[in-house]
Chain A
Amino acid sequence: MNEVICPSCAKPNLNNVDICQYCGTVLKRSSTEPLAPILPGDMPVESKTSDLESTLPGWLRNAHQASQEESDTPEISFPSGTPVIPANSAQPADPIKPESPRKKTPASPLDFLAGLSQVNDEDEETPDWMQGLQENIPAAQPEQPAQTGSDWGFGSGDQLFQFKDEPEPSQLADEESQADKSLGWLASLEAQDDPANATLVSKPPAAALPARDELPAMGDLPDWLSALTGGSSSQPDPAPSKPQPAGSEDAPDWLSGLGGDFIASDISPLSEPGPTPDAQAPDWLTRMSEPSGAHGTDAPAETDPGPDLPAWLGGRLSETAQPASEPQSPSVNSELFDWFNTAQDAPSAQAVLPETLAASAQEVPDWMRDLQAPASETPAMPVDDIPDWMTGLQDSVPLSASSEMPAAVQTPLEELPDWMRDLQPPSPVSAEPVAQSETPAVPVDGIPDWMLATTIAAAQPAPPTPPKPVSPPAGDLSFWLSEVTSKQPAASESEPARIFFDPQRTEQESAEETPTWLAGSGERLSTAASEPPQQAESVPSAQTGSGPLLLGSSDEQNIDSILAMETPDWLAGFTPSDAEKTAAKADERAEDLSLLPAELPSWVQAMRPMESVMADADDGQDEQLMENHGPLAGLRSVLPVQSGMADAYNSKPYALKLLADETQLAQAALLDNLLNSESTPQIAPSRAKLLSMRPLRWLIAVLLLLAVLIPAILKTQIFPVPSLPADASPAGAFISITTGLSSSQPVLVVVDYQPGFAGELEIASGPVIAQLEEKNVPLAFISTSPVGPFMIERLLKKYAGAYQLNKQYVNLGYLPGGAGGIKAFAEQPYSTVGHDTSLGNMWETPALAGATVNAATSLSNFGAVIVLTDNPDTGRLWIEQAQPSLKQAPMLMVVSAQAEPMIRPYMLSDQIKGLLAGLEGAAIYENQMGVAGGHGPRTYWDAFGMSMLAAELLILLGGAWGLITGLRARRTATEQDEA
């Protein structure tokens, strides 16, 4: 089934989706899931590593996957009865259980973490790299005595690993005490880890670094180191056949060299070894340190391995350089363990004394078995296989003790690390012993940068770290070294910062916990404390390998140098074949750099619910948002991640481009231009121009007033009256019709003009009314304007003052209703108007007697209908509504001059029979009929003519001014364009 049920919404999702499509919950976490933070005082919680596998960093999971892929390879079965490495020297050795076939030893030093994913408790108890140590032990190797392996830290380390699976709080203290106890031999390193002490360290780091690297080398010594041993053992070694001192008899050559090294260690007040109890330190180690003081005076030049060379390694070099048959210090060789002697004589002893081998196999620790196997089989290791740091030690460090380097163990410079290469002398290593009388200070120039950085970092006091049940990891350091690192702050807190070495403390701890050989190295370091600080600053301290100091001070250092410090060389070069794989997994190791200084090893983190140890713990915390408000405050990852929801609900993108062709776009552009032109603000004329118009207006007004007043006052008759029009003309037709009116038929006069136009229409209609008065034509007045009745009275008073109401004329009054009223009046005049409360029925008056024919009142009974109006619409209404009802009765119109253009077409259509327009028509009518008297159009004609002339001149002047202004503006614009 390819569906994944969402844990939040319980809806099925496709298997290939990472985020729920419905609720946005993250279904798959490709990144490392963070663990709950471990706070100080929190007790570890037991959990299966398989469950915690998802919390591992990516590089660790990859390593695990790689190890799983290699699981198909043949596995090495561990022989039954193989003794287990004792956890503590005080504890009896527990026989190792017959194990089932185990996995192949991881090819990479990081592969020891691959077994974290397995549920097997045994795998959790013992890291793979530890298993590899056991697996590498040849089956023929005798079981190592429990007591011998306890001082090498592997047992303690194993114990510490078991401690991981025993998270009971009550046991933590015991375990910690045991760990401290088992790591007591590292007490001297604590002093070195002390930043205050580190500033005073004057001894070269080679004296301390190999001491730290020595421990894993014991468990699984690299080939180069194995070659050192094997080479000496593979060579015809007459040592077993020769009676040797105790030391030379029981210890291997290289270990014997250690003893010699310690013998050749510097004489210092602080180098005096304290009492070392045999119960906690192997005897051979104890003896290794004991004769150092004795031999220091005897042969300091021969035994001093140099300040840059660890004591054990210096001794080892001395051992390998010297002929195997060379007698060793009896005090050292005589006190070596038997198992060590067995290991030393393994190549030859296995062939000669198999029974002895079987017996010694029970005493040889696992790491020694692992060490002996390649030593016996591998030929002499060339100098190329020697680690760089070892090569550098051989050459550059002036060995105080004369050492004889065999040709087989010479390492070429190409494989040496840079910092070791610098330490190596330019001359090739010869097999002859090199005598060094004194140990010169290593120049600063010859120290790698990383060592300087660590030196500087070590010079700074480390911040005190609260004690924890489990010490935080120190990068890739193994746990036992991390334990040492964890104890570092305690030492710095309990002691003054400037005290480099406390003799009391050294004596006590070294006597209780520190192996003798390591105590010797510590002593030499302590001796170095008495040297000037310049030397101490010039050489890296022994603490450069400590994780916190290293990472805390050199985050930007070269990765390789950091890895060289974080990962012991013995572990990095665990097997010769691992060299290439180690280089291939350099990227994974580089990820270790991201670990914070005070963090546990990642494999430890995997077994514990800690998120702080994860490389991407911060990312996990970022993903798991903590609620800050509401009832869920303080909880983490309660609600689904918003980003996932946002991704899930992203809307589909739609194209916003309109599918419009060119025509539509052109039309849209045209519409846009129109709209823009509408919205474009019009430039308002400036106020100055408006002000300039007022005088002009005053000037025009004055001119017109003068043009009117002068003829009116002077009563001039300058302008001639218009001549008689033709009969076909509107005025001529009007005159003809009015001339033919009789007094028997009333004439209906419609007075529909406003008082404002009374001056024009009164003067225009005055001659007509006067003529009708002269002809005694009865008049009936009506108006569609409410002010019409008043205008009727005013007109009659001015031009027909002799007429009497209801005798010669009737005022039908106001005709309401507009077009409808006109229509009603035209069809039924009697019932519409003519009924007044005061005047009674006007249709029965003498003025309207002729309007009723055969008891029927109709407009057609009127002699004519004369419409006086200033509004063309009003005239049109009378034409449209009343004209059809007139039948044969003519309709005449006296209109204002402004209404003439609209009314004239009705004259051409013969809907109206005559038309008089304005003063001109009145003047024509007056001139023709000779009526109107002193109020006739002639009195107005000059004034009208003068004012019209003035107006025309002003119009011409204005037009000319406008033309000139326009031409100037155009010319100016043209000139500007040309410019």
Chain B
Amino acid sequence: MLGAIQLDLVTGFLSFLFTLLILSYVVGDNAGFRLAIHAFVGVSAGYIVVIVLQQVIVDKMLLPLITGDILARVLSMFPLILSLLLLGKMSSRFEWLGRPVVALLVGVGTAAAVTGAVLGTLFPQVLAAGQLFDLHSSPSFGAVAGNLLTGIFALVGTIVTLAYFQFTVLSKNEASGRRGKMMSFFALLGQVFIAITLGAIFAGVLAAALTALVDRMQSLVSFVEVLLSTFTP
């Protein structure tokens, strides 16, 4: 029990110390801040190496190769060979060996990303935006009206936002290089939507940062409380 308490105190002290070092950045870049950063990066990298070595190389490649059946061994040979070829990228002389592996990785990852973006984001979002204008989506008029207004608002917001990013000038205004009046109005409206969006994102970022700050301050307070409770009768 004492050991657990002492361990909590040590971890709590280190947490308190590194928290203060990170917060010291308020007064500017300093050695304490850099020490905390370097410690975090080093610990994270070490942890990542251990995790990858254990959970990826050993568990997913070597273990099936050693303890698996024939099929598992044969299948495990592919990642092993590809990994060895990928090591050729470390040398300029054998750099070409890793090209197929990299090509495979990029190709598979791109294919998955594109497929997921089209099927998982684009089509569903288009369908969802269209459903807002479906007057029969809900028997409630208020819900339909709400959906319709939401849809119109989303549509206008989308259009004016795209209009703001329309930098091509039509032939009528080529000489001046400026947008027409209609496009200028849409662009201005798009700026409003973009500002609202960025404001919302900034609010979320601020909320997330303040939440993290509150968590750190709360951890300090908790550490102090634990420390006081430990060493005070």
Contact = CB atoms under 8 A, between A and B. Distances in A.
B55 A789 contact: yes
B80 interface: no
B177 interface: yes
B166 interface: no
Interface string A663-695: 100110010000000000000000000000010
A759 B59 contact: no
B66 to A, nearest CB: 10
A836 B56 CA distance: 10
Given A879-B121, A944-B210, A820 B109 contact: yes
Contacts of B216: 759
Nearest to A662: B175
Interface in B1-49: 23, 26-28, 40, 44, 47-48
A876 B121 contact: yes
A897 B207 contact: yes
Interface string B112-136: 1100110111001101100000000
Interface string B78-120: 0000000000000000000000000000001100110011011
A820 B58 CA distance: 20
A898 interface: yes
Interface string A907-921: 011110000011110
Contact of A947 (B27, B60, B203, B210): B210
A943 interface: yes
A822 B112 CA distance: 9
Contacts of A663: 174-175
A918 B207 contact: yes
A701 B206 CA distance: 14
A759 B215 contact: yes
Contacts of A943: 214, 217-218
A880 B211 contact: no
B120 to A, nearest CB: 3
B52 A814 contact: yes
Contact of B207 (A758, A823, A920): A920
Nearest to B26: A701
Contacts of A236: none
A909 B125 contact: yes
A940 interface: yes
A641 interface: no
B71 to A, nearest CB: 11
A709 B205 contact: no
Contacts of A911: 120, 124
A901 B200 contact: yes
Given A760-B215, A814-B51, 6 more contacts: A709-B217, A755-B44, A759-B216, A787-B44, A835-B59, A940-B218
B172 to A, nearest CB: 12
A624 interface: no
A532 B212 CA distance: 128
A633 B177 CA distance: 68
Interface in A120-149: none
Nearest to A919: B211
B204 interface: yes
Contact of B214 (A694, A870, A899, A944): A944
Interface string A414-431: 000000000000000000
28 contacts: A698-B26, A712-B214, A759-B211, A759-B216, A759-B219, A762-B215, A786-B51, A787-B47, A814-B55, A816-B56, A819-B109, A822-B112, A835-B60, A837-B59, A881-B112, A881-B116, A883-B120, A884-B119, A896-B204, A897-B208, A897-B211, A909-B127, A918-B207, A939-B218, A940-B215, A943-B218, A947-B213, A948-B207
A657 interface: no
Contact of B208 (A705, A760, A817, A836): A760
A453 B26 CA distance: 102
Given A814-B51, A943-B214, A948 B120 contact: no
B201 interface: yes
Contact of A813 (B23, B28, B55, B127): B55
B204 A899 contact: yes
A818 B212 CA distance: 26
A708 interface: yes
B197 interface: yes
A917 B208 CA distance: 10
B152 interface: no
Contact of A819 (B26, B112, B197, B213): B112
B59 A901 contact: no
Interface in A920-954: 920, 939-940, 943-944, 947-948, 951
A944 B52 CA distance: 37
A694 B28 contact: yes
Query: Lowest 10 CB-CB distances: which A-B pairs, in order?
Result: A880-B120, A759-B215, A880-B116, A909-B128, A897-B207, A898-B204, A786-B48, A897-B204, A760-B211, A701-B26
A652 interface: no
Contacts of B121: 876, 879-880, 906
Contacts of A757: 208, 212
Given A760-B211, A898-B201, A697 B108 contact: no
Interface in A772-824: 786-787, 789-790, 813-814, 816-820, 822-823
A441 B56 CA distance: 136
B195 interface: no
A884 B217 contact: no
B63 interface: yes
A704 interface: yes
B6 to A, nearest CB: 17
A144 to B, nearest CB: 101
Contact of A905 (B23, B108, B125): B125
Contacts of A816: 52, 56
A667 B168 CA distance: 13
A709 B215 CA distance: 10
A124 B64 CA distance: 124
Contacts of B120: 876, 879-881, 883-884, 911
B221 interface: yes
B26 A789 contact: no
Contact of A705 (B119, B207, B217): B217
Nearest to B225: A713
A818 B111 CA distance: 12
A877 interface: yes
Interface string B162-204: 0000000000001101000000000000000000010011011
A246 to B, nearest CB: 115
Nearest to B109: A820
Interface string A936-978: 0001100110011001000000000000000000000000000
A720 interface: no
A824 to B, nearest CB: 9
B174 A919 contact: no
B42 to A, nearest CB: 13
Contacts of A884: 119-120
Contacts of B201: 898, 901
A756 interface: yes
Contacts of B212: 756-757, 759-760
Contacts of B47: 786-787, 790
Contacts of A211: none
A384 interface: no
Interface string A743-774: 00000000000011111101110000000000
Contacts of B48: 786-787
Contacts of B213: 704, 708, 947
A683 B64 CA distance: 63
Contacts of B51: 786-787, 789, 813-814
B198 to A, nearest CB: 9
Contacts of A948: 206-207, 210
Contacts of B206: 948, 951
A813 B64 CA distance: 17
A896 B109 contact: no
A623 interface: no
A817 B119 CA distance: 19
